[in-house]
Amino acid sequence: MPRNSYKRIQPDIDPIYKSFQVAKLINYVMQDGKKTVAEKIVYKTLELLKLEDNDPLVTFNKAITNVIPNKEVRPRRLGGASYLVPTDVREERKLYLALKWIVDAAKTRSNKEFKTFQEKLSTEIKEAAKNQGKAIEKRLQTEKLAAQNKAFAHLRW
């Protein structure tokens, strides 16, 4: 057991949009510690959303709420067998999963349709706000797996 308790560090609020979710998105887009590059990508993405919609933050927040899962499965080992036990998703993990699925879905988009990552990310956010896209499919797949393993809910401790 560790001697000192772990203190979770909260990221700073985004200076332009004053949003915690945008700051987290910047951190998830960031690679190799290049935060200014990630900021440029995210701000350009929100500018592309602004061209088509009135408020990009409203679209972004709607996309996050549509992608957030309610249930997920966790493996529980019991008597030599491993069971997938459905559990509720914690609040911090909900935002993490939603942003991770949106970024991953944007990364897997083909390069034939879009030239830049900003276009891919803005399209994925727009589709998630409309309850479409690969991130929504991932949420539905996760919740479907939790529903299928509902019989093992009594193994939750």
pLDDT (tens digit, 0 to 9) for every residue of the chain, 157 residues total? 668 888 888 878 888 999 999 999 999 999 999 999 999 999 999 999 998 877 899 999 999 999 999 988 888 888 888 888 888 889 889 999 999 999 999 999 888 877 889 999 999 999 999 999 999 999 999 999 888 887 777 766 6
CA dihedral in degrees (9, 14, 20, 23; nearest 10)? -70
Q: Is the pTM of this model over 0.85?
A: yes
List the structure tokens of 35. Answer: 């935060």
Give me 45's structure tokens: 């993405």
Torsion of CA 50, 109, 115, 65, to 10 degrees: 10
Structural domains in the chain, sorted by start = 20-74+87-155 (1.10.455.10)
Asked if 7 and 16 touch (Cβ cutoff 8 Å), the reply is no
**CA distance linking residue 128 with residue 117, whole number of Å:** 16
Number of H helices, E strands in the chain: 6, 2
